[in-house]
Amino acid sequence: MGLEQVTGPEVYHGEGPAWYPGWGGLRFVDSMLAGDIISLAADGSLERRHVGSIAAAVRPRRGGGAVIGVERGFALEDPDWTLTVLTELWRDPGVRMNEGCCDPDGRFYCGSMAYDQSVGAASLYRLDPEGSVEMVLNQVMVSNGLEWSPDGSRVYDNDTATFTISVFDYDTAGGLTNRRTFAELPDGSSSRTD
């Protein structure tokens, strides 16, 4: 099986791809400063929709549409693309959402970062299906690359600026518990943990 380039250079900083048949395929964000959600059609064409100054992450919603991490919180997109931005989680213009994904129970997690990567300025938030939001981790530098193990019992979280990957135990009732270091790159390493 070979690789095939589907489009030319079309985005500023494309990341966070998510495939969902209800969308008709693949969506991803043109995050950092573009604030757009990109949809890839079967013919290779792209459709760009602006959702705000930042589009950090996009994932499908069970009832259709999407949940999106935007600059200072979350937005819900309906199947007809109507966008509802939820209440801002913070006011500091130096902090923005960065990356997110869903847990095995359908809750959306998105982590933040300070533009200047200030120590401890960022947090990890969870948006529950009924709309409540909880801060689940604070004192982070750059929350990046959250992912669950195949059996759903562990969560891996990258704090890119500290060169550290943490692992947590996970269950529906307790959420993320028992944080410990999974891997740590040497300070100044040319590699990154994202």
User: Is residue 179 predicted with pLDDT exceeding 50?
Assistant: yes
d(Cα 66, Cα 73) in Å, to the nearest integer? Answer: 14
Q: What is the mean pLDDT of residues 35-47?
A: 90
The least confident of 28-37, 69-78, 127-136 is 28-37
Which positions are catalytic? 187
Contact (Cβ atoms closer than 8 angstroms) between residue 107 and residue 129? yes
Q: What is the mean pLDDT of residues 44-63?
A: 92
Confidence tier at 188 by pLDDT (50, 70, 90): low
The least confident of 19-23, 78-82, 143-147 is 143-147
Spatial CA neighbour of 166 closest among 187, 140, 188, 191: 140
What's the pTM value of the predicted model, to 2 decimals?
0.89
36 CB-near residues (< 8 Å, 6+ apart): 11, 29, 30, 48, 49, 50, 51, 55
Pairing mode, strands 36-40 and 25-30: antiparallel
Contact (Cβ atoms closer than 8 angstroms) between residue 125 and residue 111? yes
Spatial CA neighbour of 133 closest among 153, 117, 112, 114: 112
Q: What is the pLDDT of residue 125?
A: 96
Confidence tier at 156 by pLDDT (50, 70, 90): very high
Q: What is the mean pLDDT of residues 50-55?
A: 93
Taken in order of first residue, the domains within the chain and their CATH numbers are: 14-184 (2.120.10.30)
User: Is residue 77 predicted with pLDDT exceeding 80?
Assistant: yes
d(Cα 47, Cα 133) in Å, to the nearest integer? Answer: 30
184 CB-near residues (< 8 Å, 6+ apart): 163, 164, 165
d(Cα 122, Cα 141) in Å, to the nearest integer? Answer: 5
Q: What is the pLDDT of residue 145?
A: 80
User: Is residue 107 predicted with pLDDT exceeding 90?
Assistant: yes
In this structure, what DSSP letter does residue 142 have?
A: B
Q: What is the pLDDT of residue 33?
A: 78
User: Is residue 193 predicted with pLDDT exceeding 50?
Assistant: no
d(Cα 14, Cα 27) in Å, to the nearest integer? Answer: 10
